[in-house]
Amino acid sequence: MPQLDDVAFMKRAYLLALKGYNEGGCPIGGVLVDNETGDVLGEGHNMLVQEGNPIIHGEMSAMRAAGRRATRRNTTMYTTLSPCMMCAGTIAQFKIGRVVVGDTVNSEGNVEFLRARGVEVIVLNDKDCIDLVRRFREEKPDLWLEDWGGA
């Protein structure tokens, strides 16, 4: 099994988040990777604004792009922001074995929820991920609240 380069895959997720931000949307990116091969199975970014769909978060976009799989136990989800409850529930439901989080500063999300369900969670608190969401929250507070269900 190859050693996954968490920093490189997080950079890939960040670039997807930046793409979403530049499109006027919420800056959250996700990349789903096969732990055995290091292949990207699916990737995407939040599409709330672009598709008018409140459930297409970065993680959900990556899962959708990955398509059907017999199992996801041996995969890693890279997400630029700690997952909301919807995304954390999906990660737990489909038994994704590992999650790498780029930012728990802007939102702690559900790291402990995932860990309690046997998911290995690595928190990078990447400066680029943190700064992008911070800027977005300052510029578009109403959109931030809409994306997080009014939280």
Residues assigned a catalytic role: 59
Q: Is 34 helix (H, G, I), strand (E, B) or coil?
A: strand
Residues belonging to the chain: 151
b/e code 63-98 from CB counts within 10 Å (16+ = b): beebeeeeebeebbbbbbbbbbebbbebbbebebbb
At residue 4, the 3 state secondary structure works out as coil
